[in-house]
Amino acid sequence: MKRIILYAACFLLAACANGQSGDNDFAALPRPSAGEAAATFGGGCFWSMNEAMSELKGVNKVVSGYAGGNTVRPTYEDVSSRTTGHAECVQIYYDPKVISFATLANAFFFAHNPTELNYQGPDEGTDYRSIAFYRTPEEKEILLSTIKRINAAKSYPEPIVTQVVPFKIFYPAEKYHQGYYRLHGDNPYIASVSEPKVMKFRKAMKTELKPEFQK
């Protein structure tokens, strides 16, 4: 029951925010600029993942969206129906001279619980699955070796169940989802679910955070 209530709060408050914005427009999907690279991960509700990854040094922008499925240009409601195959994801634009893909991968595994199969805390369904995308064979090897290392260290009591798959396409989510964590701190879902995840992330990745988040 608790999970159902929290999910309803997440969905209804998002819809309320959307109503206030007055549109259902999708966010723009930027192209990586010169010297910039992109990485794509999914780990539960993208509100907290967006915030966590944006706090890392070398990360220039994070866009919330959908990936891993087959439906073209899905909406939030489409993805929530669990008929699209997509998961809530974030696409990270970063400077590889400042932060490596390996560091981003490591951070991803501490920005959520990668041992929870097809759910994250109160959020249940394949749209909340843990999934990591690779664009090159080197990125695939980094993801697999990171999983092996974290499992060996027993950082979590259960083994990681994250899907590691080749990147195909990322669709940006609606504008009202972008930066949602910072804009809606009064949302009870943010306070009870998202914020604890971000605090856990800050503790695990403290030395890699931008100065303002190292306090």
1-to-4, 47, 81, 122, 193 alpha-carbon distances in Å: 5, 22, 19, 9, 15
CA R_g for the chain: 16
Residue 92: closest CA among 84, 79, 103: 103
Judge residue 72's burial from the number of C-beta atoms within 10 Å of its C-beta, 0-12 exposed, 13-18 middle, 19 or more buried: exposed
Q: What is the DSSP string of 138-160?
A: HHHHHHHHHHHHHHHHTSSSS--
* Residue 39 and residue 104 in contact, taking contact as beta carbons nearer than 8 Å: yes
Residue 213 and residue 202 in contact, taking contact as beta carbons nearer than 8 Å: yes
Beta-bridge partner residues of 1: none
Phi then psi dihedrals of residue 21, to 5 deg: -75, -25
Give the residue numbers marked as catalytic.
Answer: 45
